[in-house]
Structure 1
């Protein structure tokens, strides 16, 4: 199917900086660089590590306006998407989906029962996993960071940077890390509205 942009729509997209995200049959917005996997978390962690990346799981749901905004405003921004693609393998989960998931503790679940088990109730929620799969832990116990909800560009991007730089392993809390970057952006005149 060929999509044609009318001059008005093209001007609107250019003026707002918003790009329409594709929506799959499950009602979730899609990025062509998301990884489709068998949802075996330990295996996905190993696959990401073999590519020199970290595993990030994004929980979304049909009709989520915050998920749509994340796709259209954040994941369509080349500065954000290029960093994520270079450093993370991203697997999308449907908070109310029935696809099979294998937790790190070996339990087989559906996406929706995994979300309940791990305590994730907001969409989007991004879960950052360790570099290697720990044995006997669940995903929420093993996660090195979790970002529940939608944020502005710099909070969103800085969380991915902080995890990539293993900030969680040191003494500098994410909020301090983020504040330093925001201050530097203000001083350089690059800060957009957060």
Structure 2
């Protein structure tokens, strides 16, 4: 039966490269399997010249499924994430222990509750430096709550990677995204 489902997925979504893990979550080749000590993950991301992302998902989430099948399956999106981000996946209802930046050790589900995350997928984008008294939620430079299309997703990852949240240009994410939509409509690919 699993072979039939896999074959049907390949026919329906030829670029779909994620697999389902034992926890029921989609696994991409650019996701990292770590000990979920966020300070260590941040140090490793920095050593690789990448940005740390915490991606919170749950089993059976139709929006997570949509993101993996329609957005993360696109080569432009997946290659950008792979090249620029260190992605750690968290299960909204999981029991695996996480060590938050503030040193607190708690289960994935308790961490998600602590961070105020109610919906999946939720993507937390972290800065290169986090104070030892901060949590992942308080340190995050951006939060992407929910499923979005490929353009919005790629724009959010780009906006964070280029540190546009630090710029004094007055171009917050919404203005940046609106400009990128217009540029794509005009045929610009920069």
Q: Same fold (TM over 0.5)?
A: yes
User: Is the contact between residue 102 and residue 108 of structure 1 (CA under 8 Å) also seen in structure 2?
Assistant: yes
Q: 1:10 to 1:28 in 2, by over 3 A?
A: closer
Q: 2:165 aligns with which of 162, 168, 183?
A: 168
User: What are the Cα deviations for residues 149-190 of structure 1, in whole angstroms up to 9, with x where unaligned?
Assistant: 000111111000000000111232000001111001011188
CA deviation after TM superposition for structure 1 residue 33, in Å: 2.0
Provide the residue aligned with 1:46 in structure 2.
43
Provide the residue aligned with 1:188 in structure 2.
187
Provide the residue aligned with 1:134 in structure 2.
131
152-161 vs 133-142, greater mean Cα deviation = 133-142
User: What are the Cα deviations for residues 19-69 of structure 1, in whole angstroms up to 9, with x where unaligned?
Assistant: 373111101111122101111111111100000000001100000000011
Provide the residue aligned with 2:19 in structure 1.
22
User: Is the contact between residue 46 and residue 133 of structure 1 (CA under 8 Å) also seen in structure 2?
Assistant: no
Q: Which runs of 5+ in 1 are unaligned?
A: none
Q: Does 2:72 correspond to 1:70?
A: no
Provide the secondary structure at the position in 1 that maps to 2:56: strand
Provide the secondary structure at the position in 2 that maps to 1:176: helix
Provide the residue aligned with 2:178 in structure 1.
179
Q: Does 2:98 correspond to 1:112?
A: no
Provide the residue aligned with 2:96 in structure 1.
99
Provide the residue aligned with 1:36 in structure 2.
33
CA distance in 1, matches of 2:9, 2:61: 23
Q: 1:157 aligns with which of 154, 158, 165?
A: 154
CA distance in 1, matches of 2:10, 2:115: 41
CA deviation after TM superposition for structure 1 residue 11, in Å: 5.0
Q: Which runs of 5+ in 2 are unaligned?
A: none
Aligned residues: 185
What RMSD, in angstroms, separates the aligned Cα atoms of the two structures? 2.0
Relative to the length of structure 2, the TM-score reads 0.91
CA distance in 1, matches of 2:17, 2:152: 22
Relative to the length of structure 1, the TM-score reads 0.89
